[in-house]
A and B are shown apart, each in its own frame.
Chain A
Amino acid sequence: MSVKPAMPLKERMKHAIADETLIEAVKKTTDRLEGGKLASSEALGNWQEWREQGSRIRSHVVQHLDYYLGQLIQNVKKRGGHVHIADTAEHAVQIFLDITKQKNAKSVLKSKSMVSEEVHLNKALEEIGVKVLESDLGEYIIQLFGEAPSHIIIPAIHKNRYQIADKFSAISGEQISEDTPTLTAFARRKLRQEFLEADIGVSGCNFAIAESGSIVMFTNEGNGRMVTTLPPVHVAFMGMERLLPSFEDLETFVNLLPRSATGQKITSYVSVINGPRKEEDLDGAQEFHLIIVDNGRSNILGDDEFQEVLNCIRCGACLNVCPVYRHIGGHAYGDVYPGPIGAVITPLLRDDMKVWGDLPYASSLCGACTDACPVKIPLHDMLVHLRARKVKLGLTPGWERMAFRMYRGSFANPGRYRLSMRAAKLMVPFMAKDGYIEKGPLHMLGWTNARHFPSPAPQSFREKWAQLSAELEGPKGGDSK
C-alpha cells in the first residue's frame, strides 16, 4: 500500500517537540515503564541468559519460517479453523471484508492488534458502513479522538487523564471526573453493551504455536477474552513471522514479553485459543479465521543485514528507553510502528526508501534500544545499515555527498588534513567570542540554536607535539622507567 505521511519527518518532529502536554505524558509513562522493566528483569536473575534464549528461538523460527508456517497452517485446519495468507495490506483487508460480507456482519469488535493497524482495517470497515469498536481501553480512547496508536503497547500514551475525561464527558453528555477508576468504569460500561451485539471479534496474535495450531494472546484487561469468545466469529490477524515451534518455547516468552513491555512478571491474562468452539466447549467462537499477513515481511527474509528484525516480539521496550521517542512521541514517526523498531521496519516493510528513508536518522545511535531489546536485535546497527542503503541508492542530498567527498579528500590524507584544519581556523576569528561561536552561519545554525560551539584551539595537539615530546624525553620526564 502506498502510504505517504502528510508532512516531512523534520516537520512532524518540530510539531511534536512543541506539544508540551504530549511530551510530558510520554516521558512520564516511559520512565515508569523503563523503571518497571529494570526491576522485574533484574529480579529474574539471569536476564541476559533469557535474552540469549529468546534470540536463539526467534532466529531459529525465522530461519525456518516456511517449515513452521506449513506446520501451523496444517494444525489450525486440523482444529477446524480457516487459514488465509495475505501478501499485501490490501489483500488482508479484502479477506476480512469478504468474511464480513459472507456473515452479513454489521458490527466488529476489536482487541488490540498492531497488524490490523498496519493494514488500516478500521478505515476500510468504516468505508463500507460496518461499525467497528476498539475494546482495549487505550485503543478505545484514541478511536474517540480519531487518532492512531502512538506506542506499541500503550496506544494512548500521549494523552493525559484530563484530556480523556474531557472526551468521555463530551460523548456522554455528563461530567466524568479525571480519576482513573472513574474513567475505567465509564469505558467498561460503554463497552460491555457492545460486546454482546458484535458479529465478529478481531484479535491480534502475540505468538502462534506451530506444533499445536494455537494462537496466544497476552492481555491485561480481559477484553481479549471477550472479543475472542463472545461474537460468533473470531478473526485473528497475525504477522507472518510471529511463530514459535512449541509450548516449551512459549515459556521463554512468557518471561520475556510482559517484563519488557510493562515491567510485569506476567500479564493478567495469557489466553491460548485452539480453533473454534467444539461441541463439548462451554464458550468460544463458532468460527475461527487466521489471517497471516506478509505485507513486506518476505522482502526482509534472506537479507543478512536485516533478517533479525523479524525476531521482534513487539514489546515496545526499545521505545521506552529511546531518548528520541521520549522527546517526539510516536506519531512523529509517521506510520504504525514508532520508535527505533519503527525507524527500522517501516522503510523495510514499505520497501520505499524514497518516502521513508529519513526515519533511520531519527536516532542518535546511542544504542539504548539494542540494550533493551529482549531478543537482542541490533537495532542501532540496522539504523546505520539503512542509512548506508539510502546513500547507495543515491537518495541523500547533493551537498551532503559533496561534504563527505571532501571529508574523504582531507581526512584520508594527513597533509591535506593539516591544511584544511588550518584553513578552518582562519575563518574562526570572524565568528568566535571568548573561544566560542554563539551564532554560526548556515549548517552551524542548527547547533547554535541550542548551544555554543567551541572555536578550534589556537594550537592543535599535533602542533604542540614536538615541544611536548621533547619535554617528556628530557631528564625530568616523570617517573618513567
Chain B
Amino acid sequence: MNVSLFITCLADTFYPNVGESTVRLLDRLGVRADFPEGQTCCGQPAFNSGYRDEARDVAKTLIESFEKSEYVVGPSGSCIGMIHHYYPLLFEGDSRWEERAKKFVSKSFELSQFIVNVLGKQDLGARMNAKVTYHPSCHAMRLMGIKHEPLALLQNVQGLELVDLPFAEDCCGFGGTFAVKMHEVSGAMVAEKAEHVKETNAEILVGTDMGCLMNIGGRLRYEGAPVRVMHVAELLWEGVKS
C-alpha cells in the first residue's frame, strides 16, 4: 500500500503537530506514508471566493504532486471535500486534466475515513482520561458524508468520556475567507459555538478540520476559556503513545 500524506497548507504552516500525529498514527497502524513535497494547497480559498482560474492552477499543482500515489490521505474533511466535490467541476471538459482529476478524487481520503473505512480499524488502542466534546465540521459532514468515522475512533479510546455538543451541526462561522469578509456575523457565530462548547464542561474540543478548530480555538482563547482544542489525529496519537 502506497500512501501519501496531504498535510494541507493550514496544518503545514500553523499546526505541524497535526501532520506529525497523522504520520505517526499511520505508521503505528502499519502504513508507511510518504510526503510529496510539491504539494501546497487544494485551492479552496480561491475557488470559494470565485477565482476559478487561480484555483485551477493551484489544484493542478496538487494533482501533479500526487500522480504516483495509490492513496492520498489528509487530516481535513474540508480540503478533501474540495477535491471530491469541486475538482470534477473545475476540470470538466478539459481533455488534458479531466481524467487526472477524477483519478485523484477516487484515491483521496480524509484521515478518519481512511482509518475506519479503508484500513477497517476503529480501536487504535488509545487511552486518555478526559472529558471530550466533538464538533463535526460542515464539509466533512455534508460534502464528504463523514459522520460516524471520527466518533467511532473516539468511542474506542479507553477512559475517554465523550459528551454531546449542543447544536453540534451548526457551522462555527469559519468558512475560510468568510471569517474575514463577513467578520461581524462570523464573530457572532463563533461566539455562539464557543458558548455551546463551554456548556459541555469538556476539557477538550476535538474536530477533524484545523480551519474550524483555529476559529473556535481562537475564540475560546479570546474569552480565556480553559478548553484544549485538538485535531482527532493529535488526540489519538497522544492516546496511543502513552
A residues apposed to B, CB below 8 Å: 10, 13-14, 17, 323-324, 327-328, 361-368, 370-371, 384, 386-392, 396, 400-401, 404-405, 407-408, 410-414, 417, 421, 424, 436, 438, 443, 445-447, 449-457, 459-465, 468-469, 472, 477-481
Which of under 10, 10 to 19, 20 to 34, or 35 or more describes the interface residues of B? Answer: 35 or more
Task: Flag whether B102 is at the interface (Cβ < 8 A).
Answer: no
Q: 10 interchain pairs (CB within 8 A)?
A: A364-B189, A366-B142, A386-B50, A407-B51, A411-B9, A411-B61, A412-B61, A452-B218, A468-B20, A480-B31
* Distance, CA A388 to CA B56, complexed state (A): 13
Who on chain A is nearest to B9 by CB? A411
* Distance, CA A424 to CA B12, complexed state (A): 13
Chain A neighbourhood of B12, CB < 8 A = 421, 460-462
* Distance, CA A438 to CA B179, complexed state (A): 16
Q: Are A366 and B138 in contact (CB under 8 A)?
A: yes
**How far apart are B69's CB and chain A's nearest CB, in angstroms?**
15
**How far apart are B103's CB and chain A's nearest CB, in angstroms?**
20
- Taking A446-B179, A451-B219 as known contacts, 8 extra A-B pairs with beta carbons closer than 8 A to each other, sorted by chain A number, are A13-B182, A364-B182, A368-B169, A408-B51, A450-B219, A454-B217, A461-B12, A468-B23
Known: A361-B181, A457-B15. A414 touches B37 (CB 8 A): yes
Known: A391-B52, A396-B50. A364 touches B142 (CB 8 A): no
Q: Are B61 and A361 in contact (CB under 8 A)?
A: no
**How far apart are A441's CB and chain B's nearest CB, in angstroms?**
13
B residues apposed to A, CB below 8 Å: 7, 9, 11-17, 19-20, 23-24, 27-28, 30-32, 34-35, 37-41, 43, 45-54, 57-58, 60-61, 65, 86, 138-139, 142-143, 169-171, 173-176, 178-192, 214-215, 217-219, 221-222
Contact of A408 among B15, B48, B58, B191 (CB under 8 A): B58
Chain B neighbourhood of A478, CB < 8 A = 24, 27-28, 30
Contact of B48 among A362, A384, A424, A453 (CB under 8 A): A384
Q: Are A456 and B13 in contact (CB under 8 A)?
A: yes
Chain B neighbourhood of A368, CB < 8 A = 138, 142, 169-171
Q: Are B13 and A407 in contact (CB under 8 A)?
A: no
Chain A neighbourhood of B176, CB < 8 A = 365
Contact of B185 among A328, A452, A453 (CB under 8 A): A328
Q: Are A365 and B180 in contact (CB under 8 A)?
A: no
**How far apart are B204's CB and chain A's nearest CB, in angstroms?**
17
Q: Are B54 and A405 in contact (CB under 8 A)?
A: yes
Q: Are B186 and A13 in contact (CB under 8 A)?
A: no
Known: A388-B50, A464-B20. A447 touches B180 (CB 8 A): yes
Contact of B188 among A327, A384, A386, A417 (CB under 8 A): A327
Chain A neighbourhood of B190, CB < 8 A = 450-451
Q: Are A10 and B45 in contact (CB under 8 A)?
A: no
**How far apart are A36's CB and chain B's nearest CB, in angstroms?**
16
Contact of B183 among A390, A421, A447 (CB under 8 A): A447
Chain B neighbourhood of A400, CB < 8 A = 49
Q: Are A408 and B57 in contact (CB under 8 A)?
A: yes
Chain A neighbourhood of B15, CB < 8 A = 454, 457
Q: Are A361 and B178 in contact (CB under 8 A)?
A: yes
Who on chain A is nearest to B57 by CB? A412
Known: A411-B61, A436-B221. A461 touches B11 (CB 8 A): yes
Chain B neighbourhood of A460, CB < 8 A = 12-13, 16
Known: A364-B174, A405-B54. A479 touches B28 (CB 8 A): yes
